[in-house]
Structure 1
Amino acid sequence: DAMIALYSTFVDADLDATDCLTAELVKTAENAYRDVGIAFANQLALICEVVGGDVWTVRELVNKSPGRAVLYPGGGVGGHCIPKDPWLLAAPLGEGAADSLLGVARRINDGMPSHVAGLVGQLADAGNGSRIAVLGYSYLENSDDVRNSPSRVLVDLLRTDGYSVAVHDPYVHEFTGEVMEALRDADCLVLMVAHKAYRELDLAAVAGRMRHPRLIDARGFFSADELRSAGFEFRKLGVGAPG
């Protein structure tokens, strides 16, 4: 009762009293549930790439069925809680945790930055000193939170592969310079975070600023038509490569 009284002074929502174990299970289960949902979307995206489908269209049509809510796929999962809470929930399984649903979901989501790096490799050869521009460094759109950022993993992978990498993010102080400067002479652009600010980009001007107008869209942010109109060679996460 004392804790309910305390929390009611600053929480404007229902407060449910329970024991410590249940509270911990609820907290970790909520984040694990979301992680599994994202992993399903990412696995669906990978399947669509293999068979030549379009995950963004598939997701839209599946979600027309009552009770269906497929989440958005993307270049990875970050933040403080979701990457760790599934492992905390699965810990009682011991050695079985890695092969549990929660463990498999974690591996799928952790593997997405590497998959995006592979898409970059399909468009830009690292062997000739290609310059890659990564747009978005926070783990969440319209936020400056970089905890466990998938973009950080991607940047490290690209640099290990031999690429030169420039980063822009309108919310992360370290990367808030001019976006067009980050794009200067780039051989490939990777859209990792769906910041609203990037809606204001003039794609034709972006293409003209780059050495080679190539783009990887890891968030389904741009339509294929607008990318073609701007003159981009592109790959969208979850969409099969052109034949």
Structure 2
Amino acid sequence: MNELLKELRGQIEERTANVAVVGLGYVGTPVAALWAEAGFQVAGYDIQQKKVDLINKGISPIEGKEPGLTELVADVVSRGKLRVFSTFESIKSADVILVMVETPVDDQTKLPRYKAMRAALKSIGERLKPGTLVIIESTIAPKTMETDVQRILEKTSDLKLNQEFFLAHCPERLMPGRLIEIIRNYSRVIGASSPEVGQVVKAFYSHVVKADLDITDLLTAEIVKTTENTERFVEIAFANEVALLCEDLGADVWKVRDLINKREDRNMLKPGAGVGGHCLPKDFSLLTAHIRDTSPTKVIAAAQEVNDRMPIHMAQLLLDGLRAAGIGDVNGYKIAVLGYSYLENSDDIRNSPTAVLVNVLESFGFDVEIHDPWVEEFKHKSVYDVALNADAVVLMVAHDQYFELGWRSIIMALRHKVVVDGRNVLGKDKAKELGIIYRAIGVGA
């Protein structure tokens, strides 16, 4: 084993390695806190000064429901195990550097936009000391470790891979609402620049992760992450298509799904008002970014078409419900939209399906008011106040609060008793009990 790598392994096993985490969002914040809790000295880096200031005060910048994270951040900061910076100067002392910045795709070309990652890698490379391990946790297109990460780090550091520094791709598998649980308990794929590097990376992750740590090559790890998210994206599209079919046939997709899933070897996912977040709407584009034009991707393209259509379909259901209430010309009518984050009980609004819906409704001439108990911009009014004198309610996110509402008082506040349900919050039976005009994803009118 390379002497520098052997020394690093010893530091990792003894927890004396200095750890740097670049990017302190939904991935970086819990990762930094968990490795600090495990006994490492951790330095975090983020360009957003507000986020830096919050964490250095022991305050988590993530406002959604995240069990254990608030207390964990406060604890490791108070004990001096985690410090956060907005500049990269001190990263030169790091022995292990984890990179977890956003990797979006271009809206038009659907190719990766690696501006943030390339800038971070350049700053890291300029300060990289011999013997450092760099781990990319961000989701990236296959071959990116070779074409971007290795190239930038070697060029800016003047160090050689596997001789003077080491590389790994250990893609995150997180979902807001379960960040700490998933990091600790879900298996991880370790793509490494050599088998020996893989063993050192495994030793590093074993301090926190209590599940399988599978070592493979860099390319395989890249494909695994983009494929697992693409698979879920396609499965959601299938559920959405079955929902549309049930609407057309006058059936209830939620009853159909329950009966299908009684078989232990079946797991039809939930249909809904749209697919959002940082990962699912773009990871299929990362998976196919560098393939030849002749490679077939018909299923993935069809899934995108179905999922992109769902917020627009919600608008169509709303129009149908208002017609049933005797409303034709909708200009100036008020719509109360409940939920703006892409996921229940989260403040994450990246690629929010509600944003798409609101743009469509406003183009029709509707006056739209939004409520979301987790999103700063929309949490200061009560649901009742948002619904007061509205002509319809549109449910876009299955926040716990919406299941617990006193729906009779909400319905009484409306001018027209129309509810459009994109997440099965009410359900057909409850809607009938309330005596409302009910339109829902997957439920025949």
TM-score by length of 1: 0.94
**Preserved contact between residue 428 and residue 443 of structure 2 (Cα < 8 Å):** no
Partner of residue 82, structure 1:
280
Is residue 2:373 matched to residue 1:170?
yes
**Preserved contact between residue 49 and residue 238 of structure 1 (Cα < 8 Å):** yes
Partner of residue 22, structure 1:
220
Partner of residue 225, structure 1:
429
Partner of residue 237, structure 2:
39
Instruction: Name whichever of 118-127 and 173-182 sits farther off.
Output: 118-127
Task: Give me the whole-angstrom Cα distance separating, in 2, the residues matched to 1:104 and 1:198.
Answer: 32
Q: Which has the higher strand share?
A: 2
Decide which of 200, 204, 212 is 2:404's aligned counterpart: 200
Partner of residue 353, structure 2:
150
SS at match of 1:111: helix
Task: Give me the whole-angstrom Cα distance separating, in 1, the residues matched to 2:260 and 2:442.
Answer: 15
Question: How far off is 1:240 after superposition?
Answer: 1.4
Partner of residue 127, structure 1:
330
Q: Which has the higher helix share?
A: 1
**Preserved contact between residue 90 and residue 102 of structure 1 (Cα < 8 Å):** no
Q: Which amino acid is the alignment partner of residue 209 of structure 1?
A: A
Partner of residue 239, structure 1:
443
**Preserved contact between residue 246 and residue 442 of structure 2 (Cα < 8 Å):** yes
Task: Give me the whole-angstrom Cα distance separating, in 2, the residues matched to 1:156 and 1:95.
Answer: 33
Question: How far off is 1:99 after superposition?
Answer: 5.4
Question: How far off is 1:113 after superposition?
Answer: 0.3
- After superposition, the Cα gap between the structure-2 partners of 1:164 and 1:68, relative to the gap in structure 1 and judged at 3 Å, is same
Question: How far off is 1:230 after superposition?
Answer: 2.0
Question: How far off is 1:30 after superposition?
Answer: 0.7
- After superposition, the Cα gap between the structure-2 partners of 1:46 and 1:15, relative to the gap in structure 1 and judged at 3 Å, is same
Question: How far off is 1:93 after superposition?
Answer: 4.7
Q: Which amino acid is the alignment partner of residue 161 of structure 1?
A: F
1:63-102 to 2 correspondences below 5 Å: 63-95=261-293, 100-102=298-300
Question: How far off is 1:92 after superposition?
Answer: 4.4
Instruction: Name whichever of 228-237 and 29-38 sits farther off.
Output: 228-237
Task: Give me the whole-angstrom Cα distance separating, in 1, the residues matched to 2:295 and 2:353.
Answer: 23
Residue identity (%): 49
**Preserved contact between residue 339 and residue 371 of structure 2 (Cα < 8 Å):** yes
TM-score by length of 2: 0.52
Task: Give me the whole-angstrom Cα distance separating, in 1, the residues matched to 2:267 and 2:368.
Answer: 35
Q: Which amino acid is the alignment partner of residue 425 of structure 2?
A: F
Once the two structures are superposed, residues 103-145 of structure 1 have per-residue CA deviations (whole angstroms, 9 ceiling, x without a partner) of: 1111111110000011111123453421111101110011111
**Preserved contact between residue 389 and residue 413 of structure 2 (Cα < 8 Å):** yes
Task: Give me the whole-angstrom Cα distance separating, in 1, the residues matched to 2:295 and 2:272.
Answer: 24
Q: Which amino acid is the alignment partner of residue 49 of structure 1?
A: E
Partner of residue 302, structure 2:
104
Task: Give me the whole-angstrom Cα distance separating, in 1, the residues matched to 2:297 and 2:423.
Answer: 28
SS at match of 2:289: helix
Q: Which amino acid is the alignment partner of residue 74 of structure 1?
A: G
Runs of 4+ in 1 over 6 A off after TM superposition: none
Task: Give me the whole-angstrom Cα distance separating, in 2, the residues matched to 1:199 and 1:98.
Answer: 42
- After superposition, the Cα gap between the structure-2 partners of 1:5 and 1:71, relative to the gap in structure 1 and judged at 3 Å, is same
Partner of residue 116, structure 1:
314
Question: How far off is 1:95 after superposition?
Answer: 4.6
What is the aligned residue count?
A: 241
Structure 2 segments unaligned to the other structure (5+ residues): 1-198, 323-327
**Preserved contact between residue 91 and residue 97 of structure 1 (Cα < 8 Å):** no
Task: Give me the whole-angstrom Cα distance separating, in 1, the residues matched to 2:433 and 2:251.
Answer: 22
Once the two structures are superposed, residues 67-86 of structure 1 have per-residue CA deviations (whole angstroms, 9 ceiling, x without a partner) of: 01000000010011111111
Question: How far off is 1:161 after superposition?
Answer: 1.2
Once the two structures are superposed, residues 131-187 of structure 1 have per-residue CA deviations (whole angstroms, 9 ceiling, x without a partner) of: 111101110011111110101111111111111101001111111121111101111
- After superposition, the Cα gap between the structure-2 partners of 1:162 and 1:97, relative to the gap in structure 1 and judged at 3 Å, is farther
Q: For CA contacts below 8 A with separation 6 or more, give which structure has more relative contact order.
A: 1
- After superposition, the Cα gap between the structure-2 partners of 1:94 and 1:131, relative to the gap in structure 1 and judged at 3 Å, is farther
Partner of residue 384, structure 2:
180
Task: Give me the whole-angstrom Cα distance separating, in 1, the residues matched to 2:247 and 2:295.
Answer: 29
User: Cα RMSD (Å) of the superposition?
Assistant: 1.6
Task: Give me the whole-angstrom Cα distance separating, in 1, the residues matched to 2:408 and 2:360.
Answer: 28
**Preserved contact between residue 135 and residue 192 of structure 1 (Cα < 8 Å):** yes
